[in-house]
Amino acid sequence: MRIVVHGQQAFGKAVLEALIKRGENVVGVYVAPEKDGAKADPLKEAALAAKLPVYQPASYRKPEVWEEFRALKPDLQVMAFVTLFVPEDFLNIPTHGSIQYHPSLLPRYRGPSAINWPIIQGDAETGLSIFWPDNGLDTGDVLLQKKTPIGPDDTLGTVYFDRLFPMGVAAMLEAVDLVKAGKAPRIKQNESLATYEGRCGSDNARIDWGKPWKQIHNLIRGCNPAPGAWTMHDGRTLQVLEAKPLPARDPKGIAGKMGEVVAVEPDSFTVVCADGRMKILRVKPADGAKTGAGEFAAAARLAIGAKLV
């Protein structure tokens, strides 16, 4: 079967290398164009190292791009982290169509930040879907899904790099096998269960110290490492990368105002929230590198009574 790999970055590279390692007939690679001055994409580098033809169209609406794709005589397009819109007619050019990876349990969490939001919203599990893309945003029929729990201390980084990344590569290979065997299902998504969340950016990541500790903790975890939950100290942005919640036995009896620093220790500082306190362990100031919260507090002369907003 003649396979075209379409994607970018480390995940696209891993999928390509896994297909090559087991002897699949990869006939071409499509990669998102690099921005001016950017390094070559890891998937592009891997494709060139494997002596495969690389294509980087800025749009998939042009007739010449379609003809170039048809010339490869593809049987299946394997889409590993694709951000450009690809029209359905292009997706259907391969004999068996196209399959795509999405890091959520579709139809939940359609959209570009599907790993952040389940953590931010306090879900106990997430997963991945391999699906048949169409003209909608993550709306195509599902081929297969895999689940993974979200632990109380999991972050975006641990969920993706430790689980959804390697699980996704393995699931892509499993999906290819099902297509080759003629056993790949097309399961309609239940639109009544569908949710869409927009991109999780800095606007979504600001900490409101008036919220309950659980919401703040989930936000910090779901934004680590990107986009980074943040607050303001002394007129400057301070990202909070790691924290330990300290729930109050009696929220009505909490001493201190919301966002007030009530303890400073060698390894941390502690901030008041709606129903307890958050012990801040690791931060990143706007003009500096990631550091322990205690080290930051000493350097910034953060004292008891200081206010984060």
Residues with Cβ within 8 Å of 301's Cβ and at least 6 positions away in sequence, in order, are none
Q: Which of 26, 82, 75, 77 is nearest to 50 (CA)?
A: 26
pLDDT of residue 249: 81
* pLDDT of 101 higher than 80: yes
Weakest-pLDDT range from 114-128, 249-263, 278-292: 249-263
pLDDT in tens, 268-298: 999 999 999 999 999 999 989 999 999 999 9
Question: CA distances (Å), 252 to each of 172, 213, 273, 276, in order?
Answer: 51, 14, 12, 10
The pLDDT score that the predictor gives to residue 251 is 66
- Strand ranges, E, within the chain: 2-7, 25-31, 54-55, 76-80, 98-102, 125-131, 142-149, 230-233, 236-247, 261-265, 268-273, 276-285, 291-292
Among residues of the chain, what percentage have pLDDT more than 70? 99
Contact 257, 272 (CB under 8 A): yes
| Interval 142-164 mean pLDDT | 98
Is the pLDDT confidence value at 196 over 90? yes
CA distances from 30 to 4, 7, 9, 69, 178 (A): 8, 6, 12, 9, 23
Task: Quickly tell me which residue has 């699949």 as its tokens.
Answer: 24
Q: CATH says 2-193 is which class?
A: alpha beta
Does the model's pTM come out above 0.85? yes
pLDDT at position 256 is 86
Instruction: In the chain, list all ranges with CATH 3.40.50.170.
Output: 2-193
Quick one: pLDDT at residue 77?
A: 98
For CATH 3.10.25.10, list the domain ranges present in the chain: 204-300
**204-300, which class in CATH?**
alpha beta
> What pLDDT, on a 0 to 100 scale, did the predictor assign at position 126?
98
